[in-house]
Structure 1
Amino acid sequence: MSTDTDVIDILTSDHRDVTTLIREIHTVDDAVMRRDLADTAISELVRHAVTEEMYVYPAMRRYLAGGDKAVEHDVEEHKELERAMKQLEGADVDSPEFAQALAQLETVLADHIQDEEGEQFPQLRSVVPPEELVELGAKVQAAKRLAPTRPHPDAPNNEVFHKLVGPGVGLVDRLRDKLTHRATAPTPE
C-alpha cells in the first residue's frame, strides 16, 4: 500500500486478505499448508487488531457519536477473536478443536467486519478529515511492523499498552516465529 492510502482502505484490505486466507484453509488438504495458512491469517489479524486499538479506536472515541460504546463492543469482539486464534494456534489442523476454533473465528470476524465496514468506517470517513485518515493509515502501517504476530488473549486491549509494551511483545513473537519457522503475513513496507 502506498503512504497516501487512508486507514479505512488499509483495514478493509486487511479484512479481504484474512477472509481469503480463511477460505483457503477450507480448500486445502495438506496439513502443513493448512497450518501455514492459519498461522498467516492469525498473524495478519493480530497486527490488524492491535493497530486498530492503537489508532482507530481513539479516533472513533473522538469523532463518533456513541464512539465509546462502539469501541467497547469492538474490544469485546477482539477478545473473542484472540481466544479463537489462540485455540486455532494450538490445535492440530486435522482435529475437531481446529475446526471449532476456525468456525468461531469466522463467525466473530464476519460480525466484526460487518460492524466496521457497514457502519463505523462510513461514519469515520464522513467526519474525519481525509488528511487525518491518510495520517492514521501511515501510523497503522508503521505500527504493523512492530506489532505482535501471535494472539495474547490475557493482555490488555488498549492504546497505551500496545504503544508501550506492544513493540517488545512483537519482537519476541517475531523471534519465536523465526526460530520455529512459523508462517506469518508479510510485514508492511
Structure 2
Amino acid sequence: MPTQEQVLRLLETGLDYREAAARLGVPAGQAFLIATGLPADGGDTLTAEEQRRPGMPSSSTQHLVNPAAENPTGKDSVRQWLKQRAAADAQMQSAARRRDAGPGSSQDTDETDEVTDLLTRDHDRVTALLKQLQTIPGRKKGGSPAQMSRRGSIVDMLGAVLAAHEPAEQQHLWPAVRRVLGDGDALADQALEQEREGTRTLTALAGTAPDTEEFDDLAEQLSSRLRRHVAFEDSVFAELRAALSPDERSALGRNLRRARDAAGRRPADRQGTAETDP
C-alpha cells in the first residue's frame, strides 16, 4: 500500500492522480484517498480546511472514482477458458446433449380457423425458437461445436416456419388488411418491408457458418427484427378482430391455412422465405 508521502511526492513532480496511481499500481481514486483522506466521489461538501489539504485538486474528482470498464469476454484467452470450463462440466454437457432444438409443444392443440388465432400460433412457434436461439451459446459465448451446430438448425427451422407463414399472409392477410382497415395500405406496406428485412437476414445467415462471430451477429439481428415484426402484427390483429365478424375471420383463416399448408409442403432450405413484392 503506497504511503501519503509517496503519492504527494509524485504529485509535486507535476503528475496528476491518474499518472501517480499508475506509477504506484493502485486505482486513481485510492491514490486520492491516501493523499487527502477523502473519498473521490465528490458527494460531500468540503469545508475550507479540507479544501486546503495537500493534494487537493482545484477541479472535480468524480472522474477518479470508476475506472474504465473492460469486457473480459472480448479476450481470446477468456473465450478459450470458457470453452475449457464448459467441456469439463459433465452436467452441462449432458444437458446440452438432451436439449432438443425444436419448439415446445403447444398447450392448446385444438385446430382453429380464426385467422388471428391461427397466425398467433405461428408467432408462438417463432418466439419459442428465438428463445432457444438466445439460450444456446454461440461462438462469442464459448459455445461448443454441437451447440453452434444446433443454433444453425434453429435458424433453418425459423426459415421453414416463415417459408409457409409469410407467403400465406401475403396472399390473404395483407389484402384483407388493405381492404377493411382505414390505414390498411400503410400497415400492409410496413409489414411487408419488415418481412423483406427478415428475409435478407435469413439469406445472409444461410451463407454463414454457425461457428463464426458473423453468424452470431446476424442471428441477433434476425431475433430483433422478428420480435419487432411479431409485435407489429399482433397490434394489426387486434384491429382486424374489431373490423371483421367472426364468420369473416374464420373464412379468411381457412383460406390462409390452405395456402400455408401448401407452402409448408414445399422443400425448405437455408435461404429462408422467398422475397416477394406485394
| TM-score normalized with structure 1 length | 0.75
Higher RCO, 1 vs 2 (CA within 8 Å, ≥6 residues apart): 1
1:63 is aligned, of 180, 197, 202, to 180
1:88 is displaced (CA, Å) by 1.6
* Cα distance, 1:100 vs structure 2: 1.6
Aligned partner of 2:123 in structure 1 is 15
- Residue number among 24, 44, 47 corresponding to 2:132 in the alignment: 24
Give 1 or 2: higher helix fraction: 1
Question: Any idea what SS the aligned residue of 1:17 has?
Answer: helix
How far did residue 3 of structure 1 move? 5.4
CA contact (8 A) 2:177 2:185 kept: yes
User: Which runs of 5 or more structure 1 residues have no equivalent in the other structure?
Assistant: 159-189
* The one of 241, 245, 249 aligned to 1:129: 245
Matched residues in 2 for 1:65 and 1:113: separation?
21
Distance 1:13 1:36 in 2: 21
8 Å CA contact 1:3–1:138 kept in 2: the answer is no
Deviations 1:84-140 (A, max 9, x none): 11112221112122112111111111221221212x111100011211211222222
- CA positional deviation for 1:81: 0.5
Pairing partner for 1:44 from 147, 161, 166: 161
| Structure 2 residue matching 1:48: 3-state secondary structure | helix
Deviation of the 1:12 alpha carbon: 1.0
- Counterpart of 2:272, as a letter, is P
Shift, 1:2, TM fit: 5.2
Match of 2:219 in 1: 102
Q: Does 1:89 align with 2:206?
A: yes
Q: Is the 8 A contact 1:3 1:137 kept in 2?
A: no
Contact 1:55 1:139 in 2 (8 A): yes
SS of equivalent to 2:182: coil
Shift of 1:35: 2.0
Q: Which residue of 2 aligns with 1:143?
A: 259
Contact kept? 2:112, 2:118, Cα under 8 Å: no
Q: 209, 229, 234: which is aligned to 1:112?
A: 229
Paired with 1:2 and 1:100, the residues of 2 have a C-alpha distance of 37
RMSD: 1.9
Question: Highest Rg: 1 or 2?
Answer: 2
Contact 1:47–1:144 (CA<8 Å) still a contact in 2?
A: yes
Aligned residues: 156
Superposed, 1:152-171 pairs within 5 Å as 155-158=275-278
Counterpart AA for 1:84:
T
CA distance in 1, matches of 2:249, 2:188: 18
- Paired with 2:237 and 2:273, the residues of 1 have a C-alpha distance of 26
State the Cα distance separating 1:46 from its structure 2 match.
Answer: 2.5
Q: Percent identity?
A: 28
Choose 58-67 or 36-45, whichever is displaced more: 36-45
